[in-house]
Amino acid sequence: MSQPSRSATPPPADSQPRIADAPFHDQENGADVILRTSDGVDFYTHKTILCLVSPFFKTMFRLPQPADSAGSLPVVDVPESSHILDIILRSSYPFGSPTFRGLDDIEQVLEAALKYDIDSMVSVAKRYLDSFLDKYSLRIFVLGCRLNHEGICQSAATTLLKHPLQSLDSEVLRRISGYQYHILTQWHSRCCTVASNAVSTRYWFRPCDVLSKTANCDCGSCWVQDPMLRGWYAPTRVWEYLEDARNAVASCPSSTAILHGGILGPQRKWSTGGCASTTARTDHRAGARYLSVSLLGPAVDQAVAEIPMPKFYRIHSLEQMLYLCIVWSTNFERYAPTMTPSKHRHITRSHALERPPINSDILDRPQALRIPFDLGVILRICNILTGNVYNVKKGTSSRFSGFYPRGGLRVLKTNSPRRHLPLPALSPPHIFLALFALLLALHPPTMADSSIPSAPPQPSPAEEIQPRPADTPFDKQENGADLTLRTSDKVDFYAHRLFLSFASPVFKNMFALPQFTADPAGQPTIIDVPEDSQTIDFILRSCYPIASTPLTRLADVRRVLEAVFKYQMDAVLREVGFSLKEVVDEDPLGVFIIAWRCDREDVCRVAAIRMLQCHFPSLESSELRNLPAYHYRELMQWHARCCTAASNVPSTKNWLQTTNVLAQPPPCSNSACWVRNSCGWYAPNCLWEYLERAKAALLSRPSSVAITSDDVVRSKDLWQAGRCHYSCKTNAINFPEAGRDFSVLLGREVDRVVSEVRSSVLLSAYLRPTHQHLFL
């Protein structure tokens, strides 16, 4: 979608369009169509040329158009600015190569070229884009995600290997979902692991000036044996360099990192003076260069290249959606004229489940349709189908919009269409995705399609499930119910319009329609809803003065939340928050995101504390599609800061106090019994070993739960080894119990330190006013 922040300011409604610069300034050169930009500039162009370079325009111009005034040219409103359209047209006409003013121009031109299927312009823009990869790799990755272009995503992701991913901070991450950024970080982390292992395993060693199977000097100090792999000798500086290189590729898995001057060090470090065997000065600079460039660098790059590149753009259950689209596409024109924005605001993937797959060859023919709908609806559909996050402004609507080839959602025209506005053209496969969303919103009747052998058979009337009443108090009409909500699993809930009208503006507006007028005979109106009985039961109990039972599964919470946002029942969000606390252990990251969308600070706190008990990269959740990557990255950084703060606690002394296993001065004069640390405290050696294990655990899980677990505290036998071998009073101490008590003391200090990080960073960063309705 064209980004308003990058487009030229639109002219006032009463201003006259300006004329473009030559040669697009008049009709004398045979121009037969006008392209009017977002900033009110008219370009006189030729349909023939536009059709040659763009299948999109070729399809659009084939559509029947309203008759124009005599002598006037048809006008096509496009969302691009005059500067961007000028670049595209000049590259399409025989005027030479375009001139870009910077990366902003390339992004907008590439976006427009993908939208209009101008392949030649796409190739040109990508060539220019490659020149910016090293400097703006993260921004270009975001661009590839937004345009659903895997080639751009993968090129940028490969370039990002040259940088520590966490060091790249950019506002552009607000424009993609946390799910896409999570895929990138997981792949980057795997590359770091294999690159670090490549340096450590030494399989790439070859004899050279600085590597040998035997020591080249008999002094024993010039050439040292490999501390990790016996059988190889090298100058001490080589082993130091390899350790530095291993640390470097642990965050930048690329040969570029190990060739950096800061890793190789100054040239003087590779020159050594004489030794006991020789007084000649030895220069290892050439050997070091060969080691890094010809041996280590290719080994690192080869190891990273074997990690499969992930897909950053995915559509779930695409074949299942296409099946529904094809079945319903023949009746599209029958239902399209009846569409109104209020009737199809929320659409989900769940409606397309359990449908048989279809052959993709049906997508080989281009199609075009007239599709009027609300822009806010389509943005939500885009979120569901692609996982991208689009912002929706209240009151934004468009009568003519659509999905375009490879470019995701694009808007041809906002506000009401003019008489001369052409209709949007949709090309496969997006035509079927759009049809699916629009037709599903209208709830058309199910139709059998004999052309698809795998289509499920339609049940006969005798086999249809008969509705059954819900549980009390929604099981009968005697309590004054004037409405029946029939769920997808055929359960009838007798409800009251009054309660639903107060709880939901969607139901309130629905009841005002003529078809929902009360039945004179007193029979309650039956409304079929797509939710199941458990979801509707929870929602109704939350709206009525009746106690609701908390949900015990996150899947149930998601279904309720989907319905709550669809029907705009903000009052039910409070009850959802109570249920979220019950399922936080199932998916702490998902619960945190849901609570963030619901603006529930208390639940965010509970979920955040639970996330600290986990290694953050291992946390996965489908809810990441509903969180912008910018906030997901902030969440990762907060967790990393908590790890740093927590891992420093075992090394500090301000929290230490005298216990049965810690004293100052020591209760025993035997130095082998009570060992002194650098802080001046004395304890059995098993306690200092425990603190080392605790520090290692806190580097990834900054929580008291991590260091009080049996994996870190270890067995009783390990603590019994702390008993003194001489006769002293410490032998009466129950060391396993004392060690457990000490772990609790350490855990309290860890939680205190981490809580300061959480209160100062997390809450201010995430718990600000949210726009939860924008993500559904």
How far, in Å, CA of 52 to CA of 642, rounded?
A: 58
pLDDT of residue 161: 93
| Both tokens assigned to 494 | 């007798």
- Does position 201 have pLDDT exceeding 80, yes or no? yes
How far, in Å, CA of 209 to CA of 144, rounded?
A: 45
Mean pLDDT of the chain: 73
Is 367 within the bounds of a domain?
yes
Is 353 within the bounds of a domain?
yes
**What does the pLDDT look like over 606-616, one tens digit per residue?**
898 899 999 99
Q: Which of 23-27, 438-442, 463-467 has the lowest mean pLDDT?
A: 438-442
Last residue of a domain, one of 270, 305, 340: 305
- Total-model pTM: 0.72
Percent of the chain with pLDDT over 90: 21
- Does position 159 have pLDDT exceeding 90, yes or no? yes
Structural domain containing residue 27: 18-149
Q: Which of 288-292, 309-313, 619-623, 667-671 has the lowest mean pLDDT?
A: 667-671
Could you tell me the CA-to-CA distances from 710 to 596, 707, 718, 736, 754 in Å, in that order?
Answer: 33, 8, 12, 12, 22
Q: Which of 121-130, 201-210, 247-256, 523-532 has the lowest mean pLDDT?
A: 523-532
Same domain, 24 and 129: yes
- Does position 449 have pLDDT exceeding 80, yes or no? no
Contact 589, 624 (CB under 8 A): yes
More confident residue, 87 or 362: 87
Given pLDDT bands bounded at 50, 70 and 90, which one contains residue 558?
confident
Those residues whose C-beta lies under 8 Å from the C-beta of residue 135, and which sit 6 or more positions away, are: none
Given pLDDT bands bounded at 50, 70 and 90, which one contains residue 11?
low
Same domain, 92 and 56: yes
Those residues whose C-beta lies under 8 Å from the C-beta of residue 391, and which sit 6 or more positions away, are: 379, 771, 774
In which region does residue 231 sit, left (phi positive, over 0), alpha (psi from -120 to 50) or beta (all else)? left
Contact 35, 78 (CB under 8 A): yes
Same domain, 716 and 682: yes
pLDDT of residue 273: 55
Is 462 within the bounds of a domain?
no
pLDDT of residue 448: 32
Which residue from 104, 105, 103, 86 is spatially nearest to 95, judged by alpha carbons?
86
pLDDT of residue 440: 42
| Both tokens assigned to 431 | 């035509």
Same domain, 333 and 300: no
More confident residue, 578 or 162: 162
How far, in Å, CA of 357 to CA of 732, rounded?
A: 72
Same domain, 436 and 543: no
Amino acid making up residue 315? I
- Does position 533 have pLDDT exceeding 80, yes or no? yes
Is 624 within the bounds of a domain?
no
pLDDT of residue 414: 32
Please report how many Cα atoms fall inside a 13 Å half-sphere around the Cα of residue 349, on the Cβ side.
14
**What does the pLDDT look like over 119-136, one tens digit per residue?**
888 888 998 999 999 889
Contact 540, 577 (CB under 8 A): no
**What does the pLDDT look like over 220-254, one tens digit per residue?**
667 888 877 778 888 888 888 999 999 999 999 99
Which residue from 378, 436, 433, 384 is spatially nearest to 179, judged by alpha carbons?
384
* Helix or strand run (H / E) with residue 400: strand 400-404
Q: What is the mean pLDDT of residues 13-17?
A: 68
Same domain, 288 and 392: no
More confident residue, 25 or 465: 25
User: Would you call the peptide bond into 444 cis, given omega within 30 degrees of 0 as the criterion?
Assistant: no
Which residue from 654, 661, 643, 638 is spatially nearest to 749, judged by alpha carbons?
654
pLDDT of residue 432: 39
CATH of the domain at 575: 3.30.710.10
**What does the pLDDT look like over 346-379, one tens digit per residue?**
222 233 222 333 333 333 333 333 333 334 444 4
How far, in Å, CA of 91 to CA of 112, rounded?
A: 13
Rounded to the nearest angstrom, the gap between the alpha carbon of residue 174 and the centroid of all alpha carbons in its chain is 10
Given pLDDT bands bounded at 50, 70 and 90, which one contains residue 453?
very low
Last residue of a domain, one of 546, 561, 583: 583
How far, in Å, CA of 132 to CA of 152, rounded?
A: 12
- Does position 328 have pLDDT exceeding 80, yes or no? no
Q: What is the number of structural domains in the chain? A: 5
329 class by beta-carbon count within 10 Å (0-12 exposed, 13-18 middle, 19+ buried): middle
Same domain, 525 and 572: yes
Could you tell me the CA-to-CA distances from 707 to 241, 698, 750 in Å, in that order?
Answer: 34, 7, 9
Q: Which of 83-92, 206-215, 345-354, 571-580 has the lowest mean pLDDT?
A: 345-354
Same domain, 330 and 445: yes
Amino acid making up residue 463? E
- Does position 681 have pLDDT exceeding 90, yes or no? no
pLDDT of residue 665: 77
pLDDT of residue 62: 82
Q: What is the mean pLDDT of residues 279-307?
A: 86
pLDDT of residue 723: 56
Name residue, tokens 């007239």.
370
Last residue of a domain, one of 274, 305, 336: 305
User: Would you call the peptide bond into 520 cis, given omega within 30 degrees of 0 as the criterion?
Assistant: no
Q: What is the mean pLDDT of residues 439-466?
A: 43
Given pLDDT bands bounded at 50, 70 and 90, which one contains residue 277?
low
Which residue from 155, 138, 5, 1 is spatially nearest to 79, judged by alpha carbons?
1
Highest mean pLDDT range out of 15-24, 191-200, 233-242, 347-356? 191-200
Same domain, 288 and 326: no
More confident residue, 347 or 291: 291
290 class by beta-carbon count within 10 Å (0-12 exposed, 13-18 middle, 19+ buried): middle
Same domain, 475 and 408: no
How far, in Å, CA of 474 to CA of 481, rounded?
A: 9
Same domain, 661 and 741: yes
Is 250 within the bounds of a domain?
yes
pLDDT of residue 302: 94
Is 379 within the bounds of a domain?
yes
Those residues whose C-beta lies under 8 Å from the C-beta of residue 212, and which sit 6 or more positions away, are: 223, 232, 233, 234
Same domain, 278 and 334: no
Is 597 within the bounds of a domain?
no
**What does the pLDDT look like over 392-433, one tens digit per residue?**
333 333 323 333 333 333 333 333 333 332 223 333 334 334
